[in-house]
Every structure is written in C-alpha cells, then in structure tokens.
Structure 1
C-alpha cells in the first residue's frame, strides 16, 4: 500500500510482493521525499524481497520533505504494528527511533534504515559492528576526498566550492563537516549555504553565483528534490554543478561519483531477508556500499562552460546523452 501523506490529503495505492516463506509480512516504509535515488532504494528493496520468496504487503508513507509529516508518519507506523519497518533517509529514521521510545509495543519490531549518511551522528546506533536493539541498516556515506578530486579533474584551478545543504538534516551536517576536512587538505574553500525547504533552493543557489568556481550538491534530500532549479541557475550563470547522487546527473549536473541506489536498496533487502529468517537486527553490523560509479553528462557540461577532456570521458562508467 502506497500512501503519500500530506497535510490535507492522502493518496493510497495497493502494492504486494511475491510468495511468502511463512504467511504475509507487513512492512511499513517511511520515505522522506520523492526523488530518483530514494525511489531506486525502495524498488531495489522490494525486488530483493520478492526474489527471496517473501509475500509482503507494503504500507509506503512519503512525507514529501515535510518534517511535520515525518513525525505524523512515525505515529501512524506505531499504530500499524507492522512486522518490519524501513526508514529511507535520516529524518524519517530519527522520528521512528523516537517513536520506539514512546511506544513500548514497538519493542521487538525490526527496523532497517537505508540511505543514511551518518547513523552514529543521527543517533540511530551507538556502534557500527554491534548495533544492539531492534535497529540496523545500510549507510550511503560518501568519500568526500574522492569527490573533490573528481571535481578537480574537470576544474584543475578549483579554489572555492559552493555547498548547498539542509542544516536540519543530520546527514547533511555530517557531509559538510567531512567535506570541509577533505577540502582543507586540498586548499579548497567550502562556501556553504543552508536551506530549510526545497522552496529555498533557488535563492540559495543564486547567492553562490560569482562567489564560487562550482556548486556541489551532496546526498541532501531537500536539495536533490529541487535539482532542476540548481541546474537552471548553473546554466544561466555558467557555474558548473556537480553532485554526489549519480541519479541526478541525468537531471542536468556535469558529473557525479556516486552509488547505484538500486543496488543500495537490494543490499538493504538482503539484510531484511536475514532478519525475516531469524537473525536479530542488533547482531547485524551496519553495512556500507563500497563501489562508486563515475557518471558524466557532456551536454550539461557544455551548457555550464566546462570542456571535458577525452581522457576523462574514457574513465566514465556511464556517459549520459
């Protein structure tokens, strides 16, 4: 069942998965916002469970980037009493963790987080190897040094890099701290501009124009949901836009060094299968996706004034057209 929770309305769509190991499993999914990366995580998760023989009924709640709705969803999930909970993105996972503290009946219900940059900073677990309790999952933490090195391949004289993020997302604060540390080692200044909602993204991106050599968008759900706005600013001002989310390259960014989020979802689904077959979440170490994929969009680069060397095109895993 797919439910897009809004302040005034809800859209309900039925969806089920394949044959069960032992009866139907009810899985509640709390997703922060619709965008290709998070949608791919959910699809990968569902496909992994279906191929694993699980007959699942899904209650899929999408908060559409609204923090107030995130907490409404957490309350609804507690009322649903599902067999398993999946949180896609940090705000939703944090709200559900708080709901566990409020709802004793949730104790013993396994929860998997996915698409989470820094589970420790977000307060989801206290130890990666031994999460304990009912919670574990898969992190999409990015190697910021490799991202900066990737951007420097396009812009060898890069000195000032714009960074758009939502200061209310713990994953984005973690990304900012880590990119600043990596930038300091490379003599790059990070010019960070915070937003509180997708409606703020255009003004924030425009404020960077003329002050930076390029704009970098991390795995920030609020900013990624408004990707087209940043691309428009980049094209108009000839300010190159780079991203951490490979799925955003086709939306107009120059390049990304990112994860395959569909595989990220399948990795989370494989963890769910272990739990549904008797493993305890607290005994399963938090996992990280290792392989990065290099995506380049030559037409987008041209519109932002970037000339791509042929040698760099030869390094790409995916060239968008």
Structure 2
C-alpha cells in the first residue's frame, strides 16, 4: 500500500511539473521587444513608428490577449551610448531586438549571437558584417535594406539642374552606408560623363558652411541616405533655397524636411515591412539565420512643392526618372 501511495504521489508530482511547464509557455502573454536607434531624425523615426504600428497590428490579429512591451533606446549619435545601450538590451534577454541604422545594428550584433535581431535602415548588411549572405544570413541577424535607386535619383537631379556646373554630393565620410552610395554615384557619373563636386563632413556644425561653399560651384546637390544629412535637412534646405539649388535626397523623409524631390524609399513603409519579418520570428518561430534580407517593396516619386517653387521649378514638370 505504501508503495502504491508513493507511486501515486510521484505521478502527481510529475503531472504538476508538466502542467507548470506547459502553462509557462501558454500563459506568456507579453512579448518583449528591444529597439536601438542611432539618432533621432525623420527617416529613422518613421521606420520605428511603422515597425511598431505593423507589429502591434499583426500580433493583435493573431492573439488579442498578447501584449508587446517595447524597450526603446536612442544613442543620440554617440558611439559610447550605442555600446552601453546595446549591452543593456541584450542583458534584458528580450524576445527580439530591432536595430535601426547601421551603427545600431552593428553594436547589437557585437553583443549577442543568440538573441534574434532584425534591422532596418541599413544600406548593406553583408558589407556591414551583419550577415554572411543576403539570401541566407547564417547569423542571428536579418532585416530590410534601405539602399535606394541611386542612379535614378541622380538622373532625377539632372532633369532639374539649369547649368553645366558639376553635381554636388554632400555626405558623412564616417558612415559606411554613405561611402557605399557615393561609390555608386561616382560609377554612374563616369558612365554618363557627369562632373561631380564631392564634399564630406563629419559634424552637423560643418554642414551649413559646406553647403555655402558648394553653392556657386554646383548645379544641384545630391544627398545619400545619410544619418548626419538627415539630421541637418532644415539647414541644408534653407541654404539651398537661398542659392536656388535643387536638392535630391536618398529618402522621402529627407525631401520632406528640406529637399526638392526624390524617387525613393518611404521609411514608414520600410519599418512596416521589417515588422512582418519580426512577426515571423516571434510568432511563427522562424530563424533569422534562414530568412533572406529584403529590400523595399515600394519606391515612389516625392516632390516638395514648396521648395521646388521657392527655387523657380514648376513641381508639375518634375517627372519620375
């Protein structure tokens, strides 16, 4: 009889433990998602908002009782902040972390090779050392690229220039993504016999003087998807209007903040696209290692009509390249 009681007790204990184990996974009603952003500006903010909106929507449609807890960190452009914030996010053992822009993505990837990471607003994940290959990352990182159609953007700018002066290119030489895009600009210019006036800066304090220095030497200005340029768009827009120079930007948000026009990416949409990838990892249990890196599904022509008119260009005459 004693043996029977011991056996029954043991069986009940196993059932209780099994039930607790099962309930721990079933009863988890909160997903923890970390977010690390390099700097606040229109494009990156739009990507973050699009990501949260779409992930909230997708998760709610899957399970109305499931909540998402976001832990948002912004490094304010400081490398030391990136390192400490990425460490904090990794230590929290979130279910997934979003890295916005190349420096943030790289900082996170250095801190963990196990926590799933999705990234957005990164121009080239492979050259940034985040994945082995775009088609099969083979790391804990995947996401969306923000490389726009640089050739079409330069072509768009040439349709708005009114002189034979060189095309001006302004960028931050400290940003890998910008260096890559400038190489593409040079290649296009060589193939189409265009002259360039390329100026690099590494601080917002130098942007105004750089634009002023270019003003009489160029027929228009091209800005890649560059975090420093995006943060300085109001200054660039003001100087360009004074000099009557058209400005084509790498992103729509940059054109909204001070450019003339662009044919490019909408970062809000790119953030939503990234969220769909995050959903597959969080809910469908896919692995970043096996998920191909994606490019933007949508490109569109955007014209800042106010700025176009201010420099003497008829917005209705600006056509898709």
TM-score, scaled relative to structure 1? 0.84
Q: What residue is the counterpart of 2:111 in the other structure?
A: 99
Tell me, in whole angstroms, the C-alpha distance in 2 between the residues paired with 1:241 and 1:270: 33
Match of 2:306 in 1: 299
Q: Residue 174 in 1 paired to residue 180 in 2? A: yes
What is the deviation of 1:214?
0.9
What pairs with 1:1-321 in structure 2 (closer than 5 Å)? Answer: 22-53=28-59, 55-100=67-112, 107-155=113-161, 157=163, 159-276=165-282, 277-304=284-311, 306-308=312-314, 310-312=316-318
Point out where structure 2 has 5 or more consecutive residues left out of the alignment.
1-25, 60-65
Q: Distance in 2 between matches of 1:108 and 1:283?
A: 14
Deviates more, 1:290-299 or 1:139-148: 290-299
Q: Deviations over 1:115-166 (max 9, x none)?
A: 1111122111120101012111100111211111111222265551211211
C-alpha distance in 1, partners of 2:248/2:165?
A: 15
Provide closer, same or farther for how the CA distance between residues 291 and 159 of structure 1 changes in structure 2, counting only shifts above 3 A.
Answer: farther
Shift of the alpha carbon at 1:209? 1.6
Shift of 1:212: 1.1
Point out 4+ residue stretches in structure 1 off by more than 6 angstroms.
none
Higher relative contact order (CA 8 A, sep 6+): 2
The structure richer in helix per residue is: 2
Distance 1:284 1:169, change over 3 A: same
Measured against aligned partners, the alpha-carbon deviations of 1:197-235 in whole angstroms (never above 9, x if no partner) come to 222211222221212111111110111111011112112
Distance in 2 of aligned mates of 1:275 and 1:158? 51
Q: Which region of structure 1 is more displaced relative to structure 2, 178-187 or 294-303?
A: 294-303
Contact 1:116 1:140 in 2 (8 A): yes
In structure 1, list runs of 5 or more residues that go unmatched: 1-19, 101-106, 317-321
- The Cα of 1:309 is off from its aligned counterpart by 6.7
Report the CA distance between 1:23 and its aligned residue: 2.0
Contact 1:33 1:62 survives alignment (8 Å): yes
Does structure 2 conserve the Cα–Cα contact (< 8 Å) formed by 1:116 and 1:138? yes
| CA 21–90 in structure 1, closer or farther in 2 if over 3 Å, else same | farther
Query: RMSD over aligned Cα, in angstroms?
Result: 2.0
